[in-house]
Amino acid sequence: MAGSPYASALGRLKPDFSSFLPRDLYPALVAAKDANDLAKLLETTPYGADLARARATHSGAALVEVAVNRAFVRRNRHAYEAAPFAGRAVVATYLGRWDIQNIEMILSAKALGRTITETEDHLVSSREIPAGLYAGVMTLDDFRILLGQPTLEATVRALVRHGYGATILPLLEAFERTHDIFPVLQALDRQYYRSVLEAARFFQGDEWVVRALLQSEVDVRNSLLLLKGKGADLPLDAVSDRWLDGGTLTRAQAPDLYSARTVPDLAERLAGRFPSVTEGNAGYAEGGSLTGYEIALDRDRTLAELKRLRTYPLSLSVIFAHLLLSEVERADLRRIVFGRLYGFAPERLSPLLISPRL
């Protein structure tokens, strides 16, 4: 194993692993009185340089959001560059998720009538470099061009020249008739998961761990789909139409799971795959919120996948452990930002975080 091409990747990423925020910092972060106070607490962390650069043009929640996104992209880029040649195609295709997220954010913003500046602040990018640069051909200027399109229909049509024609064109007529953006967003997601699961085929022997990571993500999304469908009292057909293939929870299993009488009953059935999901029952009983289920699903999945990834350090696993930790920290910091924005008490916000439990 000493000659593994991933020994170099492990060596290059090791300092990055120690740069993730320590658990004991999170109580102070969730107790910050506002986003500016939160930014001050982050100044002495690896986010400090990005906060300093963004402070000339941003403040408050936007300042933290921009700095977190820039640091996140830099970590992604470092992980990609650390991957040996044989593993880069998988990592590149995986990173394409952030281009997809940016596209979906732009389309959703157009549908809601949000401004260019307001939306650009939330793009996952680092100055002029989008997070998915290594996976595709879209640049930050390309995203700005999409934002500048006069209508939502024009934005959808503009995506065709970026390689999304086969995905979007069959839906364009229905979209222009109904103005329902969801089928387009869903088609983009399905294209992404097909591509990344195909990229993680077994040709070296270590890709199975990455496939398991991706399958668990699809399982979480489908589990949430079932819970949301049951909560909204949707028919099974409507839920099945939105199912993402590729996970270990199959479309054929959906009818049995969905036959549960209530949302808490459905959570009990999902507990065999995600043991903590029933923790969401209390929040659902109190106010009909599904947030507790979502956090429990994400936490169970993250803990299980990190344990598996860390078992195989001299493989693609070291790259994806780094990427997963980066994603979780970004998600937690964004939860804290919006928690401060909406005045969540620390005792309400802390249980929503995953990083302090890793």
Residue with tokens 């939105």: 242
Which comes out higher in pLDDT, residue 147 or 309? Answer: 309
Report the pLDDT value the prediction gives residue 350, as an integer from 0 to 100. 93
Q: Is residue 184 within 8 Å of residue 152, measured between CB atoms?
A: no
CA-based nearest residue to 280, from 314, 230, 326: 230
Which comes out higher in pLDDT, residue 153 or 132? Answer: 153
Lowest mean pLDDT among 4-13, 36-45, 256-265: 4-13
Which comes out higher in pLDDT, residue 176 or 72? Answer: 72
Neighbours of 47 (CB within 10 A): 23
Q: What percent of the chain has pLDDT over 70?
A: 91
Tokens of 24: 């004991």
Q: Is residue 317 within 8 Å of residue 251, measured between CB atoms?
A: no
pTM value? 0.87
**Separation CA 323–CA 123 (nearest Å):** 18
Q: Specify the domain boundaries for CATH 1.20.1690 within the chain.
A: 207-311
Describe the chain by its helix, strand, coil percentages, rounded to 5.
Answer: 75, 0, 25
Residues 82-100 have pLDDT tens digits of 988 888 888 988 998 888 8
Q: At a CB cut-off of 8 Å and minimum separation 6, what does 293 contact?
A: 223, 224, 227, 267, 277, 280, 283, 284
CA-based nearest residue to 221, from 112, 281, 297, 296: 297
CA-based nearest residue to 254, from 233, 275, 240: 240
Report the pLDDT value the prediction gives residue 120, as an integer from 0 to 100. 56
Which DSSP helix (H) or strand (E) runs through 125?
strand 125-126
Q: 20 in helix, strand or coil?
A: coil
Report the pLDDT value the prediction gives residue 125, as an integer from 0 to 100. 52
**CATH fold of the domain at 16-82+313-352:** Topoisomerase I; Chain A, domain 4 (1.10.132)
Q: Specify the domain boundaries for CATH 1.10.132.50 within the chain.
A: 16-82+313-352
Q: 315 in helix, strand or coil?
A: coil
**207-311 CATH, one of 1.50.10, 1.20.1690, 1.10.10, 1.10.3470:** 1.20.1690
Residues 120-148 have pLDDT tens digits of 555 655 444 444 444 445 677 787 788 78
> Is 90 exceeded by the pLDDT of residue 168?
no
- CA atoms within 13 A of residue 301's CA, in its CB half-sphere: 26
**Which band of pLDDT confidence, cut at 50, 70 and 90, is reported for residue 298?**
very high
Beta bridge partners of 129: 126
